[in-house]
Structure formats: C-alpha cells, structure tokens
Copies of this chain bind each other. A is one copy, B any other.
Amino acid sequence: VGAMGALAAEIAPHLAPGCTVTDVGSVKQAVVAAVAPHLPEGVHFIPGHPMAGTEYSGPRSGFATLFVNRWWLLTPGDTPRAAVDQLTLLLKAMGAKVNEMTPEHHDQVVAVVSHAPHLIAYTMVGVADHLAQVSNSEVIEYSASGFRDFTRIAASDPTMWRDVFLTNKDAVLDILGRFAEELFVLQRAIRMGDGDHLFDYFTRTRAIRRGIIEAGQDTAAPDFGRAVSK
C-alpha cells in the first residue's frame, strides 16, 4: 500500500483530466486512503477487485476465461456515473459480472468469504507441519480426507496474502474473533459429549452449500468432480 501511494504520486502529473484510474487489489479502504490523495482534480478513481484467479499467481497463471462469470467489485464512491459505466463496459466485455458497494462493506465481505478462510487454511496446514506424533509423510499420504482442500488454499502467494492481512486488519480480526468463539463452543460440545448441539450445527451449515450450488457458484459433483474421474 505504501508502494501504491508512491506509484500514484508518480503517475499523477501525467494524468489527463477526465481519465479513469482503477486497481485490482483485494482490499479497498486501504487503497482509497493511499491513492486518492495523490490524484489530481478531474481524474476519476474507481477502486476495483476482480474476484478471480487460482492458487497460482503471476502472468503465466492467467488464461482466456479468467474473468468469465466471476465477480468484479467496484467501490466508486461519488465518481460520476458516466466514468463508472465506461469501466463497467470494459469489465463486462471480459466476461465479468460487476457489482458496486462501499469500500467498507467490500472489506467486510471479503474478510468473510476469502481472507478469514485463507488464514484458517494456512493455520491448519501449519499445525499439521508442526506435529511430532504424525509425520509429514503421513499428512501427505492421507491428505485426501479433507486436509488437501486446505493445502490448496494455503498454497497461495505469501507476499500477496501478507499484504491482504496487514491492510484489512480490522475486518479480518473481527471475523477471526467470531471464528474462535464459535470454535470454542464446538470444542466444549465435543468435550461435554453434547451430540445434539453438534448435530444441529452441522445440519444448519448444509443449507449454505445448497445455496452456493443453486446460485451456480460451485459444482454439485461429489468432491468437486475429483472423486469419480480419478
């Protein structure tokens, strides 16, 4: 983010009035704070976040359909409608679906659907790596029982994720705090042998999976389609 501010200051004198500046970062409040003050009057700043990509990164990890049917979130603030519509046309031409929200709300949404799950996956893989009583080769061999899904997420780019957590600190810490609370309640249910609590909790979470499949956001194929094809 410091680097983004410096970059904004560097390009600022060369920006013509009426042109649009956007970005593709995973966090929006910090980008607004770093970039907006440097841009001259009359330049439109429309922060953006394409929610696309895989656990791989860099230019060689792109592919032609990268943005097809994927959300591209914009936080245009009070930018004139014409400039936002122009950018939206460009993004839709790449196949993306576009939605607008405030930077604050964006950062809360991604903390839930992306940032917290990534930190949790990194943590679980780190725990497995530390264990003395179960060897790493056993963790690797028997990973197909759920753990390997975590390792894919935890294989994402360390530099990018370091910066995500440092710049979306408040929203991420809020979600992680709630997560730890819920985890402790479930741990306690296990310790006390409260099977009804566990059963009710596990039943409720199934509804969200059904919603995701019905919304076309994931496949209904067992094990993401891995199981049968293997």
Which residues of A are interface residues toward B (Cβ below 8 A)? 51, 53-56, 61, 63, 65-66, 68-71, 105, 108-110, 112-114, 116-131, 133-134, 136-156, 158-159, 161-163, 165-166, 169, 172-173, 175-180, 182-184, 186-187, 190-191, 193, 195, 198-199, 201-212, 215, 217-219, 222-228, 230
A176 touches B182 (CB 8 A): no
Q: 8 A-B Cβ contacts within 8 A?
A: A65-B230, A69-B230, A70-B144, A117-B124, A122-B201, A123-B182, A125-B208, A155-B209
A199 touches B159 (CB 8 A): yes
| A contact patch SS | helix
Report the nearest B residue to A160, measured CB to CB.
Answer: B202
B112 touches A131 (CB 8 A): yes
A128 touches B142 (CB 8 A): no
Closest Cβ of chain B to A114, distance in Å, is 4
Closest Cβ of chain B to A154, distance in Å, is 4
Chain B residues with Cβ below 8 Å from A182 are 123, 126-127, 130
Q: A134-B112, A140-B211 are in contact. Are A162 and B195 (CB under 8 A)?
A: yes
Chain B residues with Cβ below 8 Å from A204 are 126, 129
8 Å CB contact of A193 from B166, B180, B227: B166
B117 touches A205 (CB 8 A): no
Assembled-state Cα–Cα distance A2/B92 (Å): 58
B113 touches A147 (CB 8 A): yes
Closest Cβ of chain B to A220, distance in Å, is 9
When A and B form their complex, which 6 residue pairs have the shortest distance between CB atoms, in order from nearest?
A54-B222, A158-B202, A114-B145, A155-B209, A125-B205, A117-B146
